[in-house]
Amino acid sequence: MLKAPKFWYKNKDTYLSNTLYPLSLIFRLGTKIRNIISIQKSANLPIICIGNIVVGGAGKTPVALKIGKMLKQGGYNPHFVSKGYGGFEKNNTLIQSWHSPKSVGDESLLLSEVSPTWIGLDRNESFKLAKNKGADCIIMDDGFQNPTLQKDYSIIVINSEQGFGNKRVMPSGPLRESITRGISRTNLVITIGEINEEVKSKIPNNIPIIKSEFKINNEQKIFKGKKITAFAGIAFPEKFFNSLRNQRAKVIKEITYPDHHIFEENDLLSLAEIANKNQSILVTTKKDYIRIPKSYRSLVNTLDGEIEFEDEKLIFEILTNVIENKINSSA
């Protein structure tokens, strides 16, 4: 897995972004052709899609986890469906306790801690399998850009620190599609943190916006004043490093790995040596933690937390209406 290029998140044009721009036009053309020729399949289940417009790092999975918890508490039986990015398993599979990040990816393992989770390349098949196992609704982590997948309600997640980068489509920038096209197909925007006016201006007035924050668990206050060697293999690691600083931790060293990096013994030995020299403690994200060999996890601390919506009652009401309307129309 590769790291996101730094020029994607510069506010001005760069030589690389300009050079790659013709390829972005080809990518956009290919996407347009795919959308024209693709046929959407019916799942006969309410499908809530959690997506984003940029490549990775916006916070889809934490939002999906929170929505899954809310629906379970509301009496529903949601199942998660994910592609299983980062894992080698391509067949449609229900995540079990013995699965590893190498086989099914890290995000699906996190989702499975909340509700049954299916992975596999054919997500339409996962929908059928989930229904047969008693799911009454689906929360799809990603898949917003896939025209073959049914979506009864689409949510776009925008992270305030990330925004839309240089606002160009891959590979010239981090966008999966143009901002205008992506926003036009969503039903709701969830922002993580306070987005700036420039980003907000891209969202039409008819699309509701619900603010949220990633809240750190209370016990994590122990990092305040501590010397920390922080490491992460996620798409936008700056969010994690800034979260530590917001907790008033003393981040001595920042170490980044490619997104979805599977940590090996040598990685942990090297990290432990760095932390020992700096007289600091090792801290990473929960997503990275599950990719660390179990025999080395005792060396590492995690920064845990979850998404909190500014108006949880509103989003729950919206989603329950979507689910009930779909169930009633299919009866």
**What is the band of 197 on the pLDDT scale with cuts at 50, 70, 90?**
confident
Closest to 279 measured CA to CA, from 253, 304, 248: 253
* Single-letter amino acid, residue 216: I
Whether residue 18 is contained in a domain is answered as no
| Residue 144 · residue 116 · CB < 8 Å | no
End-to-end CA gap in the chain: 44
Q: Is residue 4 part of a domain?
A: no
pLDDT value at 15 more than 70 = yes
Claim to verify: residue 172 and residue 143 sit in the same structural domain: yes
Confidence of residue 1 (pLDDT cuts 50, 70, 90): low
In a domain, 22, yes or no: no
pLDDT attached to residue 79: 98
Question: Within 13 A of 300's CA, how many CA atoms are on the CB side?
Answer: 27
Please report, for the domain that includes residue 106, its CATH number: 3.40.50.300
Report the range of poorest mean pLDDT among 191-205, 215-229, 243-257: 215-229
Among left, alpha and beta (phi > 0; psi -120 to 50; other), residue 248 is left
- Per the domain annotation, does 315 fall within a domain? yes
**How far is Cα 140 from Cα 324, in angstroms, rounded to an integer?**
18
Same domain for 294 and 204, yes or no, is no
Asked whether residue 169 falls in the same domain as residue 195, the answer is: yes
Are 57 and 154 in a shared domain? yes
Peptide bond into 62 cis (omega under 30): no
What is the distance between the alpha carbons of residues 1 and 291, in angstroms, rounded to a whole number? 14
**Same domain for 174 and 287?**
no
Report CA Rg, the chain: 20
pTM (2 d.p.): 0.93
Please indicate, yes or no, whether residues 67 and 193 belong to a single structural domain of this protein. Answer: yes
Are residues 84 and 195 located together in one domain of the fold?
yes
Look at residue 217 in the predicted model and tell me its pLDDT.
79
Domain identity same for 203 and 245: no
User: Would residue 185 count as lying in a domain?
Assistant: yes
For the chain, the domain total comes to 2
Closest CA to 43 of 114, 129, 143: 129
Task: Name 74's Cβ contacts closer than 8 Å, sequence gap at least 6.
Answer: 316, 320
User: Can you say how many angstroms the Cα of residue 326 is from the centroid of all Cα atoms in its chain?
Assistant: 26
Q: The domain containing residue 92 runs over which residues? A: 42-214+308-330
